[in-house]
Amino acid sequence: MNKFNVRDLDLYYGDTHALKNINMLIPERKVTALIGPSGCGKSTLLRTLNRMNDLIENVHISGHVELEGVDIYQSRDISDLRMKVGMVFQKPNPFPMSIFENVAFGLKAQGINDKQLIKDTVENALRSAALWDEVSDRLNSHAFGLSGGQQQRLCIARAIAIQPDVILMDEPTSALDPIATHRIEQLMEELRKEYTIVIVTHSMNQAKRISDKTAVFWMGELVEHADTQEIFNNPQDRRTKAYVNGEFG
């Protein structure tokens, strides 16, 4: 089953044609990696999936992005959409508050006031993000006291707490050391059992390790989209071959 159906999608930043006639299906409860050279449109596509591009001035979008059959640019409330489609950014961005309050933030923003429900949800989210054992005795400590890798897992817990269907990840390990990167990748292996994950990564090795599907972008075009093993072992498009062979970065 597919979670997203992107059809005939074009996006312009002013006069710049950033995404060109994108058509792709994103399967449910799988990890889809978006790869390609810098500036090729992969992060732009990621941001169309929860309408983050709405925040950018002079953006024009045409085509369709359907989440479970509903076009998010026509029929879905943005706040509801962003509850269903969480996002983790390139650099960890915990809020300037305690560990507990970071995870509880989205719940309280929804108007949830039941203290026991909030407490239980925070614990479950931290456990799901493989962070509970490291922070359970200091939940009231400031989030900025965590390491970079812990902060990124906290951001994942914050996203999980509001029970989304989809988690978008924009180069979530690019600012982390190899050990923290490994922890995040292990976490994604667990999260794929419950969530649809779409990740932008510059690391082809990471895409190989953690994704089920890989989409290759090139100068705003989607040039190939297939099972990850097929993309790396038997690419069909010459641009994909060039990129996976390390000829372009």
Position 248 pLDDT exceeds 70: no
pLDDT tens-digit map of 8-40? 999 999 999 999 999 999 999 999 999 999 889
Position 249 pLDDT exceeds 70: no
Report the alpha-carbon distance of residue 96 to residue 39 in Å, rounded. Answer: 31
Closest listed residue to residue 4, CA positions, set 55, 59, 63: 63
Q: Is 75 helix (H, G, I), strand (E, B) or coil?
A: coil
* Average pLDDT of the segment spanning 177-201: 92
**pLDDT score at 78:** 87
pLDDT tens-digit map of 213-241? 999 999 999 999 999 999 999 999 999 99
Please report the domains of the chain, with CATH numbers, ordered by start residue. 2-245 (3.40.50.300)
Q: Which residue has the higher pLDDT, 6 or 183?
A: 6
Q: CB burial class (10 A; 0-12, 13-18, 19+) of residue 80?
A: exposed
Amino acid of residue 13: Y
- Alpha-carbon dihedral 209, 168, 237, 223, rounded to 10 degrees: 180
List of long-range contacts for 188-191, beta carbons under 8 Å, 24+ apart: 188/31, 190/128, 190/130, 191/128, 191/156, 191/160, 191/167
Two tokens at 55? 């925040």
Q: Would you give the end-to-end CA distance of the chain in angstroms?
A: 33
pLDDT tens-digit map of 126-173? 999 999 999 999 999 999 999 999 999 999 999 999 999 999 999 999
Q: For the chain, give the percent of residues with pLDDT over 70.
A: 99
